[in-house]
Amino acid sequence: MTPFEWDPTLETGDLVVDRQHMTIHRLFNQLECAADNPAEIMRVLDYLSEYVLMHFATEEDLMAREGFPEAAIDSHMAEHRKLTEGVRVKVLEFRRGELTSTAPVLEFLRDWLKTHVHECDRELVVHVRGRGAYARVPEPWASCPPKL
Ligand SMILES: [Fe+2]
Ligand SMILES: [Fe+2]
């Protein structure tokens, strides 16, 4: 599978949120590389399901802090809840051996990266950058995030 490339136009300028998005990309690519290794998939999935909870909370704080419109916060948060539940269900199905391959998990996560991070989160990026707080993530992080 082609790795999911980090797109610098997704940077909000909030270094914590941006680094978290980079890490989520890296975790997804690790999962794809581990497609034939169920133990490694489980390890990364467990980590990812906790990591996204922290990420969603951080992103929701940023929305509140940067005055993202309330209606947009509500619908974005509802989307976060839906994704959290979706990951949880996939982890349980995988753990119970109900999935015969890793394809449905990877497909779910690829869709999430594409439609949530690359589309929904972009609305927040535009909003935060519009407030003038944008700063690029330092290069060593952008090009080489630390391994788990
Ligand atoms: Fe996000
Ligand atoms: Fe989000």
What is the H or E stretch that residue 60 is in?
helix 38-65
pLDDT for the residue numbered 136: 58
The whole-number average pLDDT for the span 95-104 is 82
Whether 144 shows a pLDDT value over 80: the answer reads: no
Reported pTM: 0.84
Q: How far apart are the C-alpha atoms of 15 and 19, rounded to whole Å?
A: 6
Position 137 scores a pLDDT of 56
Give residue 5 CA to ligand 1 midpoint distance, Å. Answer: 15
CATH superfamily membership of 12-133:
Hemerythrin-like (1.20.120.50)
Taking residue 83's Cβ as centre, other Cβ atoms within 10 Å add up to 19
For residue 72, the CA-to-ligand 1 centroid distance in Å is 14
Q: How far is the CA of 50 from the centre of ligand 2 (A)?
A: 15
19 CB-near residues (< 8 Å, 6+ apart): 137, 141, 145
Q: What ligand is nearest to the CA atom of residue 12?
A: 1
Between 6-15, 40-49, 130-139, the lowest mean confidence (pLDDT) is in 130-139
**Which ligand has its closest atom nearest to the C-alpha of 73?**
2
3-state DSSP assignment of residue 75: helix
Ligand nearest to the Cα of 20, by number: 1
Region 63-69: mean pLDDT is: 92
Q: What is the DSSP string of 90-138?
A: HHHHHHTT--SSSHHHHHHHHHHIIIIIIIIHHHHHHHHHHTT---PPP
Going by C-alpha positions, the residue among 12, 15, 22 that lies closest to residue 129 is 12
d(CA 20, CA 115): 17
Instruction: Round to whole Å and give the CA distance between 55 and 41.
Output: 20
Nearest listed ligand to the Cα of residue 82: 2
Please report which confidence band the pLDDT of residue 139 belongs to, taking 50, 70 and 90 as the band edges: low
User: In the chain, where are the structural domains located?
Assistant: 12-133
Provide the 8-state DSSP code for 42: H
Q: Is the pLDDT of residue 97 over 80?
A: yes
Percentage of the chain modeled with pLDDT above 70: 89
